[in-house]
Amino acid sequence: MIILDTHAWLWYYTKNVDKISTIAMQMIQTKRYGISIISCLEIALLVEKKRIQLQLPVMRWITQAVRHPDLTVINMTPEILVASTQLTNFHRDPADRIIAATCQQYDYPLITKDKKIHNWGQIKTIW
């Protein structure tokens, strides 16, 4: 399985795939993929702050998006939450910390454009 960072999930689901690299698209299309449940919060916050606009009300968009047949939503566990507080030399964004800890917990690679995560080097990243 591979994990999609929030922006990768948004771009893939909204068919804005020109923002996703060819390698990342091949991975998404040939492997099972998942998101951390925290990505739902991130999408809702982006809508609330008017940083993105969706074609549907945010709750309806999320409800439809998480029902995609190829998608697995990975819930937060106490282990993931604690691990997210113990990431060495990682930036402060709590959602990114939870996503990175999820990848570590399950040893899944992450599709992300986030250079801070790529440069961190403690999980496998694809872009």
Sole residue written with tokens 């809702």? 44
Count the neighbouring beta carbons within 10 Å of the beta carbon of residue 46: 17
Q: Which residue, 95, 54, 63, is CA-closest to 110?
A: 95
Q: What is the pLDDT of residues 83-109, one digit of tens each?
A: 999 999 999 999 999 999 999 999 999
Is pLDDT above 90 for 31?
Answer: no
Q: What is the pLDDT of residues 8-17, one digit of tens each?
A: 999 999 999 8
**Structural domains in the chain plus CATH codes:** 2-126 (3.40.50.1010)
Q: What percent of the chain has pLDDT over 70?
A: 100
Q: Which residue, 47, 39, 44, is CA-closest to 94?
A: 39
Instruction: Tell me the C-alpha distance between 42 and 116, whole Å.
Output: 17
Q: pLDDT confidence of 57, banded at 50, 70, 90?
A: very high
- Backbone φ, ψ for residue 92 (5° rounding): -80, -15
